[in-house]
Structure 1
Amino acid sequence: MRTEGNLTRLDRVFARLDREPERPANIDVPKMSRHRVVLFVATLAFYLAIVWLVVTTSWLVRFDWQVMFFRPYQQWAGIHWFVDYYVVLGQRGPTAVMVAAWLGWRSWRQHTLRPLLTLGTLLLLLNITVGAAKLGMGRLGPHYATVIGSNEMGLGGDIFPSGHTANAVVTWGILAYLASTPAARRWLSAASAVTSLGVGLATVYLGTHWLSDVLLGWAAGLLVLLALPWCEPLIALAETRIFDLRDRWRARRGRTAPAPVPASPVTAPVLLKPRASSGDEVPAARETVTASRSTRPPAHLAPGPHTTRAERTPVTPIGSRRPPHPDRVARGTTPATAAARPATGG
């Protein structure tokens, strides 16, 4: 048995987790403050400016072509293997599974569905906004470019804005959004910003995205994060509805069949043997006992009044050796044959 003095590191970690409050009521839910509104408007203006610069084939498009001709994957070929692994941090499938596992464990520990519902809301908003922009603008990537110096818009592509970059901003930014303390929120915000920046530059290094795609992807992911407080009332309502459905299901499952109603006690007659000391038969006494039977009369009794045992006509059982009824005499009397029989002897 371990004592407090020789606990392992894993034991100390689980002991710390056991002291964590269940379903804390003081969770800091971010609100749409004036500062956040200003950031949202500025990011939206940046988003529209990037789109305008690309649509008008401005200096940003020319810079995209210069970076593409530079071919970073050939200039720094030694880090190609590392970038291939690092860019996975922006893929929607693996990152969503990792973050959902962590937030699911946190939801289970704190007995709240808010982390998982927030992640689902973010991914839904990201797919709608970024997917619509990709399909609407239809820009081709560097590997499929057709005309040098063109913006490659409206040609059936799906890379503008960068999905890897926007997904990295949202997936890792939600950890900062759901942080419990301001210090943790600051550190996680910085870590998610560096991670998403590295993912965007990794796609430019590999030649799968233009630099303008990455800039628009950062803006798209940041817009989704900044707009999330507007969805908090819906998230709280969804959590309440889900818990209500769970409670109803548990109540329906735990409902048992009603217990049978005990029958009222009735009295049943018990016949007692007649006394041996008396000469005549004594009417049998009745003893009342309680029985949990129905109040209906037994099926084997005929309806109507019944006579006592002494008033009934005696019946000789079949195979009995006793004489038939006319030959019986009552106790204490002398039969006629015995009186007429002559006395012998003397």
Structure 2
Amino acid sequence: MRTERKLTRLDRVFARLDREPERPTHIDVPRMSRHRVVLLAATLAFYLAIVWSVIITSWLVRFDWQVMFFRPYQQWPEIHAFLDYYVVLGQRGPTAVMVAAWLGWRSWRQHTLRPLLALGVSLLLLNITVGAAKIGMGRLGPHYATTIGSNEMWLGGDIFPSGHTANAVVTWGILAYLASTPRARRWLSAVSAVISLGVGLTTVYIGTHWLSDVVLGWAAGLLILLALPWFEPLIARVEARIFAVRDAWRSRREGTASPVLEPARAGGPPSATAPVGVPAMRSSCETSADEEPAAHEPVGGPCTPRSSVHLVPAPHTPRSERTSAAPIGSRRPPQSDRVTRGTTPARPLTGG
């Protein structure tokens, strides 16, 4: 008895990869709901509170110094080698390449540019907001601190907020933002939260950031993800514009590569080998399958289409351009009228 082999998870994955690309009938685009607006306002208030706490050198700055003097990299040196590689998950270059490769494949499968455009918008917002905050507040890191207990602000640094942490929140969180199902969105949100939390704590362990830098980096990345629905109309317009330019370029390329020749008469088949300028002469010489070709036609003479009732005259060709059908040396009759076939023209008398 023959039994069918049970498909494994890997078989189902490859079967899905072998399918033709198709655009989903419904793409769930997040909207700026009231719940999201409340979260955005709360995150923005938390962001401003952290900045103000550091500026006034509150208990948060003192806690930063306590963590720095604790020196976690000396307390647990056995995990230092692993965390040196793990922190790469927060670097902008490698993570952007990995996520862009995945989203590019999704764009090709779904015939949409929204995933790549959403990633580009989020990274652009990240560079503008976080970069401006870093340069504007100019805080020095733990390795370059000058005065114990100070907030180290406006001294030319560039670590507040933490770029690694904010980049991890945005880069991995965009996968959850673009998830196609609610279940996938929940799982990817949890995974991105764990990765960004681990990256932030790793920078504190290594000693490159204060703890307040990491907390502000989490808030900065979350603000970008919560504000993305405001940019969805812009993403849709850019996608439509790109597709319009692509379609115009394709039609222009196809029009120049394979020009369409109009037939000589309505209903007649177009000729593939006729010159571009004279499609009518080619089509007038074609005969259907149930008709016989005209007999005793002169070589190179004008072709006349076969009709069931009468012959339709072909376009006039000057006599100087016609190919002579008579033997070399003979002369045509001087009459301008065409001589009836089968008769011999009278030759002129020579001599006296």
Q: Structure 1 294/258 Cα, relative in aligned 2: closer, same or farther at 3 Å?
A: farther
Corresponding residue number in structure 2 for 1:101: 101
2: CA distance between counterparts of 1:213 and 1:71? 16
Structure showing greater Rg: 1
Identity among equivalent positions (%) equals 74
Q: How does 1:192-203 map to 2 (within 5 A)?
A: 192-203=192-203
Corresponding residue number in structure 2 for 1:262: 280
* Cα offsets for 1:304-346 (capped at 9, x unmatched): 953866454145xxxxxxxxx34xxxxxxxxxxxxxxxxxxxx
* Native 8 Å contact 1:139 1:158 kept in 2: yes
Q: Structure 1 298/115 Cα, relative in aligned 2: closer, same or farther at 3 Å?
A: same
1: CA distance between counterparts of 2:303 and 2:215? 94
Corresponding residue number in structure 1 for 2:348: 313
1:82 Cα offset (Å)? 1.1
Alignment-mate amino acid for residue 313 of structure 1: P
1:20 Cα offset (Å)? 8.0
Is it true that 1:136 corresponds to 2:171 in the alignment? no
2: CA distance between counterparts of 1:12 and 1:314? 97
Corresponding residue number in structure 2 for 1:204: 204
Partner residue of 2:318 out of 268, 274, 297: 297
* Native 8 Å contact 2:23 2:110 kept in 1: yes
**Aligned length in residues:** 300
* Native 8 Å contact 2:303 2:314 kept in 1: no
Corresponding residue number in structure 1 for 2:68: 68
2: CA distance between counterparts of 1:270 and 1:100? 70
Corresponding residue number in structure 1 for 2:16: 16
* Native 8 Å contact 1:141 1:159 kept in 2: yes
* Cα offsets for 1:183-215 (capped at 9, x unmatched): 111111111111101100000000000001001
CA RMSD across the alignment: 2.9
Corresponding residue number in structure 1 for 2:172: 172
Which stretch shifts more, 161-170 or 175-184? 175-184
Q: Structure 1 112/4 Cα, relative in aligned 2: closer, same or farther at 3 Å?
A: farther
Q: What secondary structure does 1:132 align onto?
A: helix
2: CA distance between counterparts of 1:270 and 1:58? 108
Q: Structure 1 209/265 Cα, relative in aligned 2: closer, same or farther at 3 Å?
A: closer
Q: What secondary structure does 2:161 align onto?
A: coil
2: CA distance between counterparts of 1:118 and 1:300? 68
Which stretch shifts more, 145-154 or 222-231? 145-154
Is it true that 1:92 corresponds to 2:113 in the alignment? no
* Cα offsets for 1:76-114 (capped at 9, x unmatched): 111101111111110001111111111111111111111
Q: Structure 1 125/265 Cα, relative in aligned 2: closer, same or farther at 3 Å?
A: closer
1: CA distance between counterparts of 2:303 and 2:252? 42
Alignment-mate amino acid for residue 318 of structure 2: P
Q: Structure 1 138/15 Cα, relative in aligned 2: closer, same or farther at 3 Å?
A: same
- Could you list the runs of 5+ residues in structure 2 that have no partner in the other structure? 262-275, 286-293, 306-312, 323-331
* Cα offsets for 1:145-185 (capped at 9, x unmatched): 11111111111111000000000000110111111111111
1: CA distance between counterparts of 2:102 and 2:194? 20
* Native 8 Å contact 2:140 2:153 kept in 1: yes
Alignment-mate amino acid for residue 85 of structure 1: Y
1: CA distance between counterparts of 2:62 and 2:145? 13
- Could you list the runs of 5+ residues in structure 1 that have no partner in the other structure? 272-286, 316-324, 327-346
